[in-house]
Amino acid sequence: LILEKSPKMSIGKPEAKTQTGIKTTIDIHKADQAIKYNINFQIILFFIGIFIFFIIRKKMSYVYSTNPRKKRKHPAYNKNGWFSWIGPVITTSDIDLININGLDCYVMLSLFRMFVLIFLLLSLLIGIPLCFIYSISGFNFNQIFLSLSIKNNNSWYIKYIIFLSVFIITFIIISVLHNYAKAFISLRQAFLRNPATMHPIDMMVKRTTEQINAASKTVLLTSLPGYLNYNNDLENYVNALGLGETRQCLIVQDTIKYNSLLRERHKIIKEIEEEIYKLYENLRMDYGYDYG
**184-to-98, 132, 199 alpha-carbon distances in Å:** 10, 37, 16
What is the spatial distance between Cα 45 and Cα 38, in angstroms, rounded to a whole number? 10
Residue 44 belongs to some domain of the structure: no
Residue 60 belongs to some domain of the structure: no
Residue 62 belongs to some domain of the structure: no
Q: Which residue has the higher pLDDT, 20 or 236?
A: 236
Over residues 9-29, mean pLDDT: 49
Cα 231 to chain centroid distance, Å, stands at 32
> Among 58-67, 130-139, 187-196, 262-271, which is the least confidently predicted range?
58-67
Q: Which of 56, 77, 54 lies closest to 66, judged by CA?
A: 77
Residue 13 belongs to some domain of the structure: no
Calculate the CA dihedral of residues 68, 73, 74, 75 and round it to 10 degrees.
160
Q: Are residues 238 and 166 in the same domain?
A: no
The pTM for the full model equals: 0.50
Domain span including residue 247: 220-251
* Amino acid 247: pLDDT: 75
Q: Are residues 225 and 264 in the same domain?
A: no
Q: Are residues 122 and 229 in the same domain?
A: no
Q: Are residues 207 and 285 in the same domain?
A: no
What is the spatial distance between Cα 94 and Cα 198, in angstroms, rounded to a whole number? 10
pLDDT bin (cut points 50, 70, 90) of residue 44 is: very high
Q: Are residues 101 and 164 in the same domain?
A: yes
CB 126 within 8 A of CB 165: yes
Q: What confidence tens digit (pLDDT) does each residue in 276-290 have?
A: 888 878 777 776 655
Residue 144 belongs to some domain of the structure: yes
Q: Are residues 203 and 274 in the same domain?
A: no
Q: Are residues 236 and 138 in the same domain?
A: no
Over residues 6-21, mean pLDDT: 42
* Amino acid 41: pLDDT: 92
Q: Which residue has the higher pLDDT, 18 or 177?
A: 177
Q: Are residues 146 and 163 in the same domain?
A: yes
Residue 56 belongs to some domain of the structure: no
CB 244 within 8 A of CB 236: no
**85-to-59, 77, 196, 202, 209 alpha-carbon distances in Å:** 16, 10, 27, 27, 31
Residue 55 belongs to some domain of the structure: no
What is the spatial distance between Cα 245 and Cα 248, in angstroms, rounded to a whole number? 9
Please report, as a single letter, which amino acid is at residue 234. L
* Amino acid 242: pLDDT: 77
* Amino acid 48: pLDDT: 92
Residue 97's Cβ-count burial label (10 Å; 0-12, 13-18, 19+) is buried
Number of domains composing the chain: 3
Over residues 226-251, mean pLDDT: 80
Q: Are residues 177 and 229 in the same domain?
A: no
Q: Are residues 96 and 136 in the same domain?
A: yes
Residue 94 belongs to some domain of the structure: yes
Over residues 75-100, mean pLDDT: 73
Q: Are residues 234 and 209 in the same domain?
A: no
Q: Are residues 117 and 205 in the same domain?
A: yes
Give φ, ψ of 186 to 5 degrees: -65, -45
Q: What confidence tens digit (pLDDT) does each residue in 203-229 have?
A: 666 666 666 666 667 777 777 787 777
